[in-house]
Amino acid sequence: MDGGKTIRQLKKEAMHLKIKGYYNMRKKELVEAISKRKTELAKMAHDIGNMKMSQLRSFAKEIGLRITRRTTKSELIEKISNMFSTWEHDEKSTKQRESKKPSAATSSLTKIPERKVVKTEVDLPKTYKKDKLVGLEVNTNWLHFYWDLSEKTRRILSVRSPIVLRVYDVTYIDFNGTNAHRTFEMELNPNISKYYVFVPQPNADYLAEIGYKDGNKFVPLLRSNLVTTPPSSPRLAQMELWMDLRTRQKFSEISSGKFVTRVEKLAGVSSMPTINLISGGGSFFWLSGRRSI
């Protein structure tokens, strides 16, 4: 929803809003980026009443408002609120103009979808109608599972509830269905076909099963491949193995410890985040598994 602005005007606006990389954006991308940025700022603006002068100043700078040293606090608040009402006005007039052609485009001050929907002419099959449960490593603590079902399994599951996903820690185990170190379970929304799960242990072997609960009994229908989380810390070793490159002979040596002392990066924050953060070390949110496909 560009309000009929030219690409030049949009760029200027994007520049004022300090949108990164606006120079390389196409019109559609610009409109989206501006809209997204305005939403972020609008959220922040709800708080202007409680802001300190220094916060107000930097916020004004963020949204490209010109201020002088003499601008007072109340003037600043007024200027900022005026700025947002202009945006809202722009938004409304654009809506009126475009009311005849409903579109999925985003309104800058309302909720916007996370990712744009990309349309292509080619469609791939939604299912290959085979029983399949596949595990993939994301990183040291996250695994991804996706699955596909045969008609028969789909029918069985359609009359069963709850459907569950089980993940087993089977490190160094020849798994027989009951001998896992640890067993994790969650109920699945029957409409999804992929999920990301957090697992506690790096450098461990996991596998998953999908099935249903019959009372207290778990009835597995699909089993995944083995998934191994990568290690995340140095290991200890008493012995080193070496090879003489002239003779190609391998020989052992007692490890004499580290020759190179390495200082690792320390990560931290000044205060622990309190809201909306997933616990357990994931470095980003995975939402796809929670939506129906």
Nearer to another protein, 72 or 261 (CB): 261
Q: Is residue 21 part of the contact set for another protein (CB under 8 A)?
A: yes
Distance CA 175, CA 274 (A): 39
Nearer to another protein, 35 or 193 (CB): 193
Nearer to another protein, 77 or 136 (CB): 136
**Nearest to 176, CA basis, from 210, 146, 209, 147:** 209
Looking only at residues 213 through 242 of this chain, which bind another protein when binding is defined by CB under 8 A? Answer: 225, 228, 230-237, 239-242
Distance CA 99, CA 88 (A): 16
Distance CA 293, CA 291 (A): 6
Cβ at position 108, least distance to another protein in Å: 19
SS3 28: helix
How many residues touch another protein under the rule CB under 8 A: the total is: 65
Distance CA 156, CA 149 (A): 10
Looking only at residues 263 through 292 of this chain, which bind another protein when binding is defined by CB under 8 A? Answer: 283-289
Nearer to another protein, 283 or 292 (CB): 283
Q: Is residue 128 part of the contact set for another protein (CB under 8 A)?
A: yes
Q: Is residue 261 part of the contact set for another protein (CB under 8 A)?
A: yes
The phi, psi pair for 54, rounded to 5°, reads -65, -35
One residue of 45, 56, 108, 142 binding another protein per CB under 8 A: 142
Nearer to another protein, 162 or 280 (CB): 280
One residue of 85, 93, 158, 255 binding another protein per CB under 8 A: 255
Looking only at residues 179 through 198 of this chain, which bind another protein when binding is defined by CB under 8 A? Answer: 193-194
Distance CA 255, CA 3 (A): 70
Q: What is the DSSP letter of 115?
A: S
Nearer to another protein, 110 or 242 (CB): 242
Is there a contact between 95 and 107 (Cβ–Cβ < 8 Å)?
Answer: yes
Q: Is residue 66 part of the contact set for another protein (CB under 8 A)?
A: no
Stretch that binds another protein, among 39-47, 78-86, 135-143, 166-174 (CB under 8 A): 135-143
Assigned token pair, 146: 């996706």
Angle at which helices 73-98 and 53-62 pack, to 10 degrees?
A: 30
Q: Is residue 115 part of the contact set for another protein (CB under 8 A)?
A: yes
Distance CA 169, CA 228 (A): 10
Q: Is residue 244 part of the contact set for another protein (CB under 8 A)?
A: yes
Assigned token pair, 168: 């087993």
Cβ at position 106, least distance to another protein in Å: 15
**Nearest to 1, CA basis, from 115, 144, 98:** 98
Task: Give the Cα-Cα-Cα angle 222, 224, 228 (nearest 5 degrees).
Answer: 160
Interface with another protein (CB under 8 A)? 7, 11, 15, 18, 21-24, 26, 115-116, 118, 120, 122-125, 128, 130, 134, 136-140, 142, 144, 146, 148, 193-194, 203, 225, 228, 230-237, 239-246, 250, 255-256, 258-262, 283-289
